[in-house]
Structure 1
Amino acid sequence: MGEVVVVNVREFDPNKDRESVEAVEKICEVGPSGKLSLFTDLHGDPICRVRNSPTFLMLVAEIGNETVGMIRGCIKTVTCGKKLTRPTKNSTETNQNSNHVPVFTKLAYVLGLRVSPNHRRMGIGLKLVEKMEQWFRENGAEYSYMATENDNVASVKLFTDKCGYSKFRTPSILVNPVFKHRLKTSSSKTTILKLTPNDAETLYRYKFSTTEFFPRDIDSVLKNKLTLGTFLAIPRDGKYGAGSDNWSGSESFLMDPPSSWALVSVWNCKDVFTLEVKGASRVRRVLAKTTRLIDKALPWLKLPSIPNFFKPFGFHLMYGIGGEGAEVLKMVKALCGFAHNLAMENGCSAVATEVSSCEPLRFAIPHWKVLSCEEDLWCIKRLGEDYSDGSVGDWTKSKPGFSIFVDPREF
């Protein structure tokens, strides 16, 4: 008989597990030969991608004294649907325009599952997921979900075949390079204002609170040091178009909004982790470098040279994209240009966002197909009975809406 292998799963200890966890991360990030893949550098902080969440945990799996896998998880309260209600005065969690209120639920998120290549097919990934789900249940989570590439067969099979998850949503990750030249962000018809966190919170709760995955603690997200600001695009010839001197707050804005407007917040992922493209051929690298050399020699042409994605680079994430009116697409495009320039000033090489595949505003978001993921995959599982604020039935069986709210703390 073969030797019985004992796998121990315990909580991550930053004092003794940091180096071994980083080693497993590195060998797991290398993609198939000849295929482009992204290596993630977590800046020496293995839990940085969940650290800003309300409640989080990291587990490691070990055989003897060797770290062979890890998993991260976090829990928050989000919108899982909406119910009809009468409009109520001064309600910050009611979308009075549509006479709906958000239905909140406690949701858990699984991310960063890694198993050393030499220890796969031993049930380690399954054991890590089960231990994490046990912690989710102990902390009152009603649903658990995870995100993965749609073509990651091993991950999809683990969660759907063995862990009881079902395919739920297929959003798109849109990534655009940051060039060395500023983009035009406004015109004679558009003004962009930076909102205070309190004004941004008021707008988000009033207009976006019934969007799936909207976090109940949106105020914590907007006031986090990684949020670089929330920006509002409005008509220049309107009430607030002359600039911030005419701005009298979000409540006044909502009482008499302009015919068109758009909103976006920007999160600084650069200070959390960096990315690096692996697996590129020498020809691809040379071509990319050539565009940068030409741009450097002829800067007045303002050519869209390809940033150096083959060494660690930072990026910004746009979240909370929304708006209304006939000119909303033009305003979203202006905000994307503004976000590009902000990223350029911060030394970033890319701007990213994630939107629902049904999102009408996605057509105004510039992106490069080679960098983007047209169909990310979110899988979900019901952990227990639905104790949300007003029943929407089983959320796992609900139809997708036009939009989702991507929490930047989990990107």
Structure 2
Amino acid sequence: MAAAVVIREYDPATDRAGTEAVDRECEVGPAGGMSLHADLLGDPLARVRHSPAYLMLVAEAAGGQIVGLIRGTVKSVATAGATTSSPASASVGYILGLRVSPSHRRMGVALRLVRRLEQWFERTGAAYAYMATDKSNEPSLRLFTGRCGYSKFRTPSLLVHPVHAHRLRGPRRAAVHRLAPRDAERLYRARLARVEFFPADIGAVLGNPLSLGTFVSIVDDYEWRGVEAFLASPPASWAVASLWDCGGAFRLEVRGASRARRAAAAASRALDARAKWMRVPSVPDFFRPFVAWFVYGLGGGGDDGSTRAAEALFVAFVNMARGRAAAVAVEVAACDPLRRRIPHWRSLSCEEDLWCMKRLGSGGDVEGWDWARSAPGQSIFVDPREV
């Protein structure tokens, strides 16, 4: 059966219905014993179209049936451990959206899709390939670490907070300022350009229609006089982050919830809406298609006050999302000090996501240095185009 499957590039004129069917068959992750599904909004390329270089491959069985698919992007990013003798950046390929229909699993289809995508990475000049998965996704880990030669690379945390009818309370004496895209790019390049996975095309990310804006939070007394003055003499306690509307590309939905869970969630929302002063920790309606916002580019000063500034930003984002999104999420490095005060629900979050990396045959080392085997940095930049 596997030999009869052809791996080829996605054709939007003929393959759209087939790829959508495969996407619908496959859940994207666990959600408290239920299943989380992502429905792309009409365009199977929606999750990769905003990247500098992208490709989508499909696996076609006899009769023209689409039984598998994979998406990939290539871009230039900052690496960890940049010194005078090692590269400050590298071209990397990112694998996402690997799906195989249940009827064609364990036939080598996924392996063939990955290998074909890696070949494209190398032709495009990528020195590394990486992917992200939940640490409990054993089939994915067996494929990538067991058969494809990937190594466990980073373990960031995905922190998620639901959006309520009431407003969250943030730290006192924290002021939040919105930046214009050009000012945001200037700040990021000045302060975060060496953060691991910082994209070389940050301006394109910030200027994307799905990017909802960049904001700076400053704790304690500080007169905001613009980015130029900020960079010349920054305060001790500050944080910066940007917002991305994931609803512009896909809707999420939790399936498999019992009637009791649905009823309890609905009751919490009703009470929260009628008595906001009670600040009920209500559960949004995750059981129908919903929108999520993603926080990216989180960084800040080096003192403890910066963790309060990061908290103030995240609280502001959750409050901004009322009536527009059901949840706000951020992914941070395991050792990032800013994560300590990010409000989140553990039941919705993933405390240890897993990224795996592989050095490709096109190179990637300078004087023996290999990013895939390097120690993690304190922070990590998660590109919202790949969420």
- TM-score w.r.t. the length of structure 1 is 0.89
How far does residue 239 in structure 1 lie from its aligned partner after superposition? Answer: 2.8
Greater Rg, structure 1 or structure 2? 1
1:395 to 371, 376, 379: 371
3-state SS of paired residue (1:134): helix
CA distance in 2, matches of 1:135, 1:293: 51
Q: 1:6 to 1:62 in 2, by over 3 A?
A: same
1:333 to 311, 316, 321: 311
Q: Does 2:320 correspond to 1:349?
A: no
2:300 corresponding residue in structure 1: 323
Q: 1:408 to 1:131 in 2, by over 3 A?
A: same
CA distance in 2, matches of 1:204, 1:211: 10
Q: Any idea what the Cα deviations from partners look like across 1:91-136, whole Å, max 9, x if unmatched?
A: xxxxxxxxx9970100000000011101111110011011111111
How far does residue 185 in structure 1 lie from its aligned partner after superposition? Answer: 4.6
Look up the equivalent residue of 1:42 and give its one-letter code.
L
How far does residue 186 in structure 1 lie from its aligned partner after superposition? Answer: 6.3
CA distance in 1, matches of 2:169, 2:30: 39
1:21 to 19, 22, 29: 19
3-state SS of paired residue (2:14): helix
- TM-score w.r.t. the length of structure 2 is 0.94
Look up the equivalent residue of 1:368 and give its one-letter code.
W
Q: Which portions of structure 1, spanning 4 or more consecutive aligned residues, are displaced by more than 4 angstroms?
A: 30-34
In structure 2, runs of 5+ residues without a counterpart are none
**300-309 vs 393-402, greater mean Cα deviation:** 300-309
1:103 corresponding residue in structure 2: 88
Give the root-mean-square deviation of aligned CA atoms.
2.1
Look up the equivalent residue of 2:77 and give its one-letter code.
V
How far does residue 68 in structure 1 lie from its aligned partner after superposition? Answer: 0.5
1:251 corresponding residue in structure 2: 228
CA distance in 1, matches of 2:30, 2:344: 25
Q: Does 2:103 correspond to 1:118?
A: yes
Q: 1:239 to 1:298 in 2, by over 3 A?
A: closer
Q: Does 2:247 correspond to 1:270?
A: yes
2:180 corresponding residue in structure 1: 196
Count the aligned residue pairs: 385
Superposed counterparts of 1:41-190, under 5 Å: 41-64=39-62, 65-84=64-83, 103-185=88-170, 187=172, 189-190=173-174
Structure 2 contact 166–277 (Cα < 8 Å) conserved: no
Q: 1:372 to 1:342 in 2, by over 3 A?
A: same
CA distance in 1, matches of 2:31, 2:156: 27
How far does residue 238 in structure 1 lie from its aligned partner after superposition? Answer: 1.7
Look up the equivalent residue of 2:383 and give its one-letter code.
D
Q: Any idea what the Cα deviations from partners look like across 1:286-345, whole Å, max 9, x if unmatched?
A: 211111222234344232211111011001100111111341111111111110122114
Q: 1:40 to 1:11 in 2, by over 3 A?
A: same
CA distance in 2, matches of 1:339, 1:38: 23
CA distance in 2, matches of 1:256, 1:262: 15
2:272 corresponding residue in structure 1: 295
Structure 1 contact 78–215 (Cα < 8 Å) conserved: yes
Look up the equivalent residue of 1:71 and give its one-letter code.
I
1:93 corresponding residue in structure 2: none
Structure 1 contact 102–210 (Cα < 8 Å) conserved: no
How far does residue 5 in structure 1 lie from its aligned partner after superposition? Answer: 4.2
Structure 2 contact 177–217 (Cα < 8 Å) conserved: yes
2:189 corresponding residue in structure 1: 205
How far does residue 150 in structure 1 lie from its aligned partner after superposition? Answer: 0.6
Q: Does 2:362 correspond to 1:364?
A: no
1:284 corresponding residue in structure 2: 261
Give percent identity, aligned residues only: 51
3-state SS of paired residue (2:369): coil
3-state SS of paired residue (1:15): coil
In structure 1, runs of 5+ residues without a counterpart are 86-99, 241-246
